[in-house]
């Protein structure tokens, strides 16, 4: 049984996020001759528990299914109890609408819109798409944003004829963008070069990597572990008195500014320059933020890792590509992805544009040896849907934002995974 998260298309009305839950063979077969071709009690139990459980007892979950899947459920067992059964049919000739707990919809889009509107947005906690093959193949392709990966307890012993078989589209399992991160981590652990580093910890490393995140419908805050819930302390170690003494900056303040400051004097406001160009000269090929200032490097406790960002405007959308010379995958990179994505969304709002893509280009992408075990645990986890970022629409000045102007909707990460920072 696999669950794969996905996000609804938000281009017309607001739509619900959903998860896909399905039992599949290794070849992604899910049904034969209108029925389940196996009976795995563990899978059925998992399905029941997953789709029935809600954290708020006043709410229940919805299960979206194709008309044939509905018909494949034995009459005495349908509608699936304790859940809102949403049946997709284009023919409209089926009269289930009178049955309690059953809703009929003509498309996946209309189902997700319906579930995002009252009363369902208040009474339904989670939405699961439960099959069958047609719904997965056509509808998820239509919403163009299914993602996730097979991590199924699959029935590998049974070999079925593929005739009359309902199949899942393979794309369901490889499109969640968190896999750009997870696959890169895995690749570094499996085949990275062993290198020494300034902290003496030892790393595994790859050179020249790229990840791409779509900011149009959701926000890439990684879900396979929870990022520090309140307050960010990843740089505290590089601003401590002990560390500053070690790098010859004992005279400097023990704070985050010392750690990251590019230049002490504010000689040129690069951010305002970027905003001005995005607004007034959007085709400019020099919309650049540069933190790498060679003459100032000696004044810094740690020279900038994310050193260069270029912004790009196209079709009313703002994209950003950031070059990071050194990227620590376990603790740092999830924050780097989130912070440049956030900056892109903020500048887009100020300039009356929509967010486009965040492209993360990395020079030395490395995993500290001390993080390998924790990251191996993390890459086994199934990503959940990315949250949606809401920004107070009235804010039009980059210096006016405060924390309460930002709201993350639907962030439901896996638990925290402990990793120590190498200093
Ligand atoms: N292994 C699992 O976890 C699992 C889960 C579910 C089902 N299954 C199996 O899968 C098989 C059924 O799957 P299937 O692929 O044959 O059929 P299905 O996807 O369940 O249902 C197909 C029907 O749903 C409607 N439909 C599909 N996409 C739609 C859309 N985008 N908008 C509106 N209506 C839409 C159409 O109904 P109309 O013809 O009425 O227009 C279509 O004929 C069965 O064997 C079942 O046991 C297995």
Residue among 39, 45, 135 whose CB has most ligand 1 atoms within 8 A, to mutate? 135
| CA dist., res. 330 & res. 185, Å (int) | 8
State the average pLDDT over residues 177-184. 94
pLDDT tens-place string over residues 266-298 = 578 999 999 999 999 999 999 999 999 888 888
Q: Is 166 in the pocket of ligand 1 (CB under 6 A)?
A: yes
Q: What are residue 73's phi and psi, to 5 degrees?
A: -80, 130
Tell me, in angstroms, the distance from the centre of ligand 1 to residue 104's CA. Answer: 13
Q: Is 381 in the pocket of ligand 1 (CB under 6 A)?
A: no
What is the domain partition of the chain in residue ranges? 5-174, 178-229+265-409
| CA dist., res. 250 & res. 301, Å (int) | 10
Tell me, in angstroms, the distance from the centre of ligand 1 to residue 70's CA. Answer: 8
Q: How, if at all, do strands 18-22 and 2-6 pair? A: antiparallel
Beta-bridge partners for 366: 205, 328
In the chain, the percentage of residues whose pLDDT exceeds 90 is 53
- Quick one: pLDDT at residue 146? 38
Q: Is 69 in the pocket of ligand 1 (CB under 6 A)?
A: yes
CATH of domain 178-229+265-409: 3.30.572.10
The CATH fold of domain 5-174: Dihydrofolate Reductase, subunit A (3.40.430)
| Bond preceding residue 132 cis, omega within 30 of 0 | yes
Lowest mean pLDDT among 103-117, 239-253, 254-268, 316-330: 254-268
Lowest mean pLDDT among 163-172, 182-191, 267-276: 163-172
- Yes or no: say if 185 and 378 are a contact pair by the CB < 8 Å rule: yes
Q: Is the pTM of this model over 0.85?
A: no
pLDDT tens-place string over residues 40-63 = 788 888 899 989 998 899 999 999
């Amino acid at each position: 049984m696999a669950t794969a998260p996905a996000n609804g298309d938000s281009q017309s009305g607001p739509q619900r996020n959903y998860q896909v839950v399905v039992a599949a063979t290794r070849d992604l077969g899910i049904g034969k001759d209108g029925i389940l071709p196996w009976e795995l009690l563990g899978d059925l139990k998992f399905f029941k528990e997953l789709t029935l459980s809600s954290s708020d007892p006043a709410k229940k979950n919805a299960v979206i299914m194709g008309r044939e899947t509905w018909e494949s459920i034995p009459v005495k067992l349908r509608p699936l109890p304790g859940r809102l059964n949403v049946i997709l049919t284009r023919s409209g000739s089926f009269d289930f609408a009178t049955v309690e707990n059953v809703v009929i919809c003509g498309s996946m889009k209309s189902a997700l819109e319906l579930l995002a509107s009252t009363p369902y947005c208040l009474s339904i906690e989670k939405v699961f798409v439960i099959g069958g093959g047609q719904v997965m193949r056509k509808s998820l392709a239509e919403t163009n944003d299914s993602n996730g990966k097979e991590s199924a307890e699959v029935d590998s012993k049974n070999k079925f004829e593929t005739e009359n078989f309902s199949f899942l589209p393979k794309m369901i399992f490889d499109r969640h963008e968190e896999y750009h991160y997870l696959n890169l981590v895995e690749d570094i652990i499996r085949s990275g070069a062993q290198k020494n580093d300034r902290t003496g910890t030892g790393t595994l490393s790859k050179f020249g990597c790229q990840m791409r995140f779509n900011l149009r419908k959701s926000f890439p805050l990684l879900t396979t572990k929870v990022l520090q819930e309140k307050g960010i302390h990843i740089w505290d170690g590089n601003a401590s008195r002990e560390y500053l003494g070690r790098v010859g900056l004992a005279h400097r303040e023990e704070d985050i500014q010392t750690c990251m400051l590019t230049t002490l004097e504010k000689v040129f406001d690069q951010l305002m320059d970027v905003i001005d160009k995005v607004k007034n000269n959007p085709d400019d090929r020099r919309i650049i933020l540069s933190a790498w200032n060679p003459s100032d490097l000696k004044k810094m406790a740690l020279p900038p890792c994310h050193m260069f960002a270029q912004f790009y405007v196209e079709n009313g959308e703002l994209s950003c590509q950031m070059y990071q010379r050194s990227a620590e995958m376990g603790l740092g990179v999830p924050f780097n992805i989130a912070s440049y994505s956030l900056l892109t969304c903020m500048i887009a709002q100020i300039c009356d544009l929509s967010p486009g893509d965040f492209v993360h280009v990395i020079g030395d992408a490395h995993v500290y040896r001390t993080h390998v075990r924790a990251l191996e645990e993390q890459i086994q986890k199934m990503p959940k849907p990315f949250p949606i970022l809401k920004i107070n629409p009235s804010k039009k000045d980059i210096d006016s934002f405060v924390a309460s102007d930002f709201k993350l909707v639907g962030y439901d990460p896996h638990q925290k995974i402990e990793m120590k920072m190498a200093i």
